[in-house]
Amino acid sequence: MSMKRLFFALDISPRDKNILIHWREQHQFLAVKPVSKDNLHITLAFLGQIKKSAETKLINQANEYVLNTPTLSQHYHLVANELGLFRKPQVLYLAFPQFPSELTKLANYLSAQASKLGIFQEKRDFLPHLSIARKAKLLPEVPSLALPINISSFSLYASQSTERGVMYTPIKSWFFCTKISDCFY
């Protein structure tokens, strides 16, 4: 039986990814492994190894949520203004202390739907963050930051290990839009 390692995440535009990479390069964090530009995202719900039948149900539930949630009909302008460290997994991340409630509700909904399908979900509050480096042992000092990130869609991603490292490939994407016909591609 074929299974995929999946997660839902907010998509970051190529332009904003370039800004993030430029900022990260300016600070040259020591003893860290940078997250590749193509893999930058803001996780909404981690799913793990999923069967095709569960994947289909999750896609259908996300479709239903987008169609029935008119508050998702806008672009979101986020500002990453904190640097943090998850000590145990040694992940350096950017945080968003002010995060739109609509996107938190989306994350909670996707996680709840996964739970209903028997997919393990950690029992903790949603913490919006953007991982920028791994193998970080210390939280470096940085001057105050305010990195703008514009969000106009979210996707269901597959995580695949390759010879070049882990690659995240979108399976299905949803745009935050004003017309229902524009919500899917």
Domain borders along the chain are 3-182
Tens-digit pLDDT string for the chain (185 aa): 578 999 999 999 999 999 999 999 888 766 689 999 999 999 999 999 999 999 999 999 999 999 898 777 678 999 999 999 999 999 999 999 899 999 999 999 999 999 999 998 988 889 999 999 999 998 888 888 899 999 999 999 999 988 888 899 999 999 886 555 544 44
Side-chain half-sphere of 110: how many Cα atoms within 13 Å? Answer: 25
DSSP state of 58: H
Given the structure tokens 């305010």, which residue do they identify? 146
Buried-state track 9-43, b at ≥16 Cβ within 10 A, e below 16: bbbbeeebbeebbeebeeeebeebebbeeebbbbb
> DSSP letter string over 68-122?
T-GGG-S-EEEEE-EEEEETTTTEEEEE-SS--HHHHHHHHHHHHHHHHTT----
- Residue of 22, 27, 75, 129 marked catalytic: 129
Helix (H) or strand (E) holding 27: helix 14-27
- Residue of 27, 41, 75, 77 marked catalytic: 41
State which amino acid sits at residue 153. Answer: S
22 is catalytic: no
DSSP state of 123: S
41 is catalytic: yes
Specify the fold of 3-182. Answer: Cyclic Phosphodiesterase; Chain: A, (3.90.1140)
